[in-house]
Structure 1
């Protein structure tokens, strides 16, 4: 079953799917469709929402997480102005398994695991035994080896991630990582903090929220 999911993952990653227009195009209020299964950084009532579609093996995603995200957290997330919804967009089987491990660990550890995966990306992704390296990261986050093995064998976990990836393709035409959607506005690729700041400030101003 996992082989079938991986085959579907490869097909989905190679196929651009036409989807619905964004809220920015239609003029309708944007609905990010946040559910209890999402992983959210920031306050639930933050006026601006950003979706982040990222791959754990993507160097540009690592650069965002390591260099830009801390600045966004300090200036916008910690101040209650922006919340970030992280949605994995796996590009390969190893990436998929990294996300499965992160999901199976204690939920409160998810973002800590994500940050470690990005900070040590070259180490675990290029290791002679990358699955073993992922198991070590999971172990440090409270996921013992037996539960790690069970997690990677759980098709429902893999299926949930792949379904989320396909939804991103359908709803936002995501075909590369990182891709961000800020209040319905799609922003593709690696961007500087100043680029995000300009968009956040504009979106906050549109909602009548002071940026200083």
Structure 2
């Protein structure tokens, strides 16, 4: 737990420094969201095979209750809607505390388990967020990866991978400075910023508007 706290505090310090350095750099007006996806080699959790597509980027923190509500309720309703087949859905880690940062590290250990891991963390939100200690939180967050095929050796390796940790940092800093992300969940729907979880009907309305443009 001490290592986790040390790493997280280091990242918070770097975010503050980088925020100043990049304050006058690219903004959403001259840096398209698609370039952000391409520059960072971000793969969608949900990929459309339709000719007409809408890109949804969610900036999310595993510790965020509204993010959990979006994944457990709103997204499930979107999956049952007529627009679901047109959606490319991208999830960008935007951890707001130590536990969320740790979960983000585990989530990015393997592309093969990322989607199922994200589902498990949010489905079990009320379990791990109410754990009695930091060690129990870590144990639970690890278990969600291991139960979906993440090898323990692979897990231990990525927990020590500073390049992976710095990538999370870079994505978060860019989200703040380029797109003005300040809270979670924040969405970009074909570049249009939507803050907070909304009823599925509101998302569907926006998506249909994008499809008809």
Shorter-chain TM-score bucket reads 0.7 to 0.9
**d(CA) in 1 for partners of 2:32 and 2:96?**
30
Matches within 5 A, 1:129-168: 129-168=136-175
8 Å contact from structure 1 (residues 42, 77) kept in 2: no
Query: In structure 2, what is the equivalent of residue 34 of structure 1?
Result: 37
Query: In structure 2, what is the equivalent of residue 6 of structure 1?
Result: 8
**d(CA) in 2 for partners of 1:42 and 1:77?**
13
- SS of structure 1 residue aligned to 2:69: helix
- SS of structure 1 residue aligned to 2:36: coil
Query: In structure 2, what is the equivalent of residue 103 of structure 1?
Result: 108
8 Å contact from structure 2 (residues 57, 89) kept in 1: yes
Give the one of 99, 116, 119 matched to 2:120. Answer: 116
Query: In structure 1, what is the equivalent of residue 98 of structure 2?
Result: 93
Query: In structure 2, what is the equivalent of residue 191 of structure 1?
Result: 198
8 Å contact from structure 1 (residues 60, 178) kept in 2: yes
**d(CA) in 1 for partners of 2:138 and 2:113?**
19
Aligned-pair CA distance for 1:77: 6.2
Could you say what the CA RMSD is over the residues aligned between the two structures, in angstroms? 2.8
Q: Does residue 73 in structure 1 map to residue 83 in structure 2?
A: no
Aligned-pair CA distance for 1:2: 6.8
Q: How many equivalent residue pairs?
A: 201
Query: In structure 2, what is the equivalent of residue 181 of structure 1?
Result: 188
Aligned-pair CA distance for 1:146: 3.1
8 Å contact from structure 1 (residues 2, 155) kept in 2: no
Query: In structure 1, what is the equivalent of residue 62 of structure 2?
Result: 56
TM-score (normalizing by structure 1): 0.82
**d(CA) in 1 for partners of 2:114 and 2:96?**
19
Aligned-pair CA distance for 1:9: 3.5
8 Å contact from structure 2 (residues 106, 159) kept in 1: yes
Instruction: Provide Cα deviations, 1:173-204, integer angstroms capped at 9, x if missing partner.
Output: 00100000111110001111011011001111
Cα distance, 1:145–1:55 mapped onto 2, change above 3 Å: same
Query: In structure 2, what is the equivalent of residue 209 of structure 1?
Result: none
Aligned-pair CA distance for 1:171: 1.3
